Structure 1
Amino acid sequence: MTRAKLPPSVSQRRLGAELRRMREHADLSATRAGELFGATQSRISNIEAGGYAVSAERVRALARLYDCDDEKLIEALAAMTGGRTRGWWEEYREILPSDALDLAELEYQARELRVSSTIHLPGLLQTREHARAMISDAVPPMRQDEVEHRVSHRLKRQSVVHGEPPTPLTAIIHEAALRVGFGGQSIARAQLRRLIDRSEEPHITLLVVPFSTGTYPSAGHGIVQFSGPIPSLDTIQLDTDHGSVFIDGEARLAKYRKLLDRLEACALEPSKSRNLMTRILRET
């Protein structure tokens, strides 16, 4: 039986989007680019949609056609070509929304991760019980099997921060998220102990924004920065009520990097953050 073709991966779509930006910067239509490259307009469009694989040499050839002289970008894009890796998240393809799979793939590929959270704790630091309590509270409610699929997916995502080598993680958490207490007292206490323990690990920087800070920029949805091989290939994720929104493009990346910098500036240093978490644990 022939295996069904997988939809384009996050890397394939990003590669295509960057080639489209190059073409547009060169002020070429897809039709004209195809004529100059010896391809059809539909082939160029399929490449830019991530639906047609290209080799590293073709990426370099397109960059020359588009007069791009950013060698770091060109080589980073060339490295994104080649065969697609079937990651563990593919087992959830018919079970979970596609943005959940994209999130896992981006975390797997990231060189570093930076997360901000106001009410919900970062999924990469949640206990199983806390994750189950959060997911079970969704509106509209999910069937129990759906809840368990999402819990298992969330726990498997955590391999990026406790694997070998682990991905560096900076988590900026508002004090409110530490006090919500999803699932009741025992679950909340276990979750706080998990955070305190994780904050001792050298690759994890956990920063708490206390209530005493007052004004807090962007006190809404969670934000994640996935660091790519070069800064212009970073990705931002916004965690909304309607699912994940993924953002790239230098202007918007710059906006959210600056926002995350401001959130970090509002937070306590790591040792004081740990002390605050310990105090909240005693009070819980």
Structure 2
Amino acid sequence: MALRKTIRSRRLGKQLREFRHQANLRQEDLVVVMNEGLNSEYRISGNHWRRTENGLSRLTPVHLARFCEVLEVEEEQATALERLRAKADEPGWWQEYSDILSEIGEMLLELGEDAVRIRTYDTVFIQGLLQIETYTAAVANSAIATVRTVDVDRVVELRMRRQKRLSDPDFRGLSAVLTEGAIRTIVGGPAVMAAQLRHLLQISQNPKVEIRILP
């Protein structure tokens, strides 16, 4: 099954390719050997395998198990591959916004979801993980050349959902550096900016959030 390339699917594809290279097998040779041990309904095509190694096709548990059997992958490594396969197969919540996100944008969000620590440096606008809704809407409206008016609400919704990562139990911390210009530039008017700055003061009380201002 085809899919949009993700960090997880790329990571899985890379690991599969490394195991194949270690076994000194070409893709077409690997597929032949794998198919010898599979019933006809489970056989995999060379094109599907190529796309899997490129992070563009899903891999079934049957195919991964056969791959590990053929290449004699150790049990611990096979278990790690299966966890990664299952993770790559799970749709991320950000994929609901694929109509307003580029492939690179989706990958960046995915990286943020997998990261346990995030460090950011922002010079123009306040870091997205620290924005309030009205500030985000003002930023999106200022980028009207690249964000359609009808998409502004979805951009705001996406950013607010992304901020939930800060409260996840496995997330360890955000370290954000903002330039002085980012907090002095009025975005959305004085009332919006005042509310945004109050939010920065409030969220900085969160032990997982560190905010520094660069003069």
Normalised by the shorter chain, which TM-score bucket? Answer: 0.7 to 0.9
Q: Does 1:176 align with 2:181?
A: yes
Structure 1, unaligned stretches of length 5 or more? 212-284
Select 1:53's aligned residue among 59, 63, 68.
59
CA contact (8 A) 2:124 2:181 kept: yes
CA contact (8 A) 1:119 1:177 kept: yes
Select 2:139's aligned residue among 134, 141, 144.
134
Q: 1:201 Cα deviation (Å)?
A: 0.8
Structure 2 match to 1:78: 82
Select 2:16's aligned residue among 14, 19, 22.
19
Structure 2 match to 1:89: 94
CA contact (8 A) 1:63 1:74 kept: no
Aligned partner of 1:134: which letter?
A: V
Q: 1:160 Cα deviation (Å)?
A: 0.7
The runs of at least 4 aligned residues of structure 1 exceeding 6 Å deviation read none
Select 1:203's aligned residue among 195, 204, 208.
208
Select 1:149's aligned residue among 135, 139, 154.
154
Q: Write out aligned runs for 1:26-41 (5 A).
A: 28-35=25-32, 37-38=34-35, 41=46
Cα–Cα, structure 1 residues 177 and 46, in superposed 2: closer, same or farther, change >3 Å?
same
Q: 1:170 Cα deviation (Å)?
A: 2.0
Cα–Cα, structure 1 residues 41 and 6, in superposed 2: closer, same or farther, change >3 Å?
closer
Residues in 2 aligned to 1:23 and 1:173: alpha-carbon distance in whole angstroms = 45
Aligned partner of 2:163: which letter?
A: Q
Structure 2 match to 1:269: none
What is the TM-score with the length of structure 1 in the denominator?
0.58
Aligned residues: 202
Q: 1:117 Cα deviation (Å)?
A: 2.0
Q: Which has the larger radius of gyration?
A: 2
CA contact (8 A) 2:116 2:171 kept: no
CA contact (8 A) 2:23 2:71 kept: no
Aligned partner of 1:168: which letter?
A: G
Cα–Cα, structure 1 residues 21 and 179, in superposed 2: closer, same or farther, change >3 Å?
farther
- Percent sequence identity is 27
Q: 1:169 Cα deviation (Å)?
A: 1.8
Residues in 2 aligned to 1:175 and 1:25: alpha-carbon distance in whole angstroms = 51
Structure 2 match to 1:260: none
Select 2:193's aligned residue among 174, 188, 196.
188
Aligned partner of 2:4: which letter?
A: P
Q: 1:178 Cα deviation (Å)?
A: 2.2
Higher relative contact order (CA 8 A, sep 6+): 2
Residues in 2 aligned to 1:107 and 1:63: alpha-carbon distance in whole angstroms = 33
Which secondary structure state, in structure 2, belongs to the residue aligned with residue 206 of structure 1? strand
Q: 1:191 Cα deviation (Å)?
A: 1.7
Structure 2, unaligned stretches of length 5 or more? 36-43
Q: 1:13 Cα deviation (Å)?
A: 2.6
Aligned partner of 1:15: which letter?
A: L
Deviation string, structure 1 residues 243-263 (Cα, Å, up to 9, x no partner): xxxxxxxxxxxxxxxxxxxxx
Residues in 1 aligned to 2:78 and 2:121: alpha-carbon distance in whole angstroms = 31
Q: Does 1:7 align with 2:4?
A: yes
CA contact (8 A) 2:28 2:46 kept: yes
Deviation string, structure 1 residues 162-203 (Cα, Å, up to 9, x no partner): 345555222232333222232232222222222222222111
Cα–Cα, structure 1 residues 201 and 23, in superposed 2: closer, same or farther, change >3 Å?
same
Q: 1:76 Cα deviation (Å)?
A: 4.2
Residues in 2 aligned to 1:120 and 1:18: alpha-carbon distance in whole angstroms = 38
What is the TM-score with the length of structure 2 in the denominator?
0.73
Backbone CA RMSD of aligned residues: 3.3
Aligned partner of 2:83: which letter?
A: A
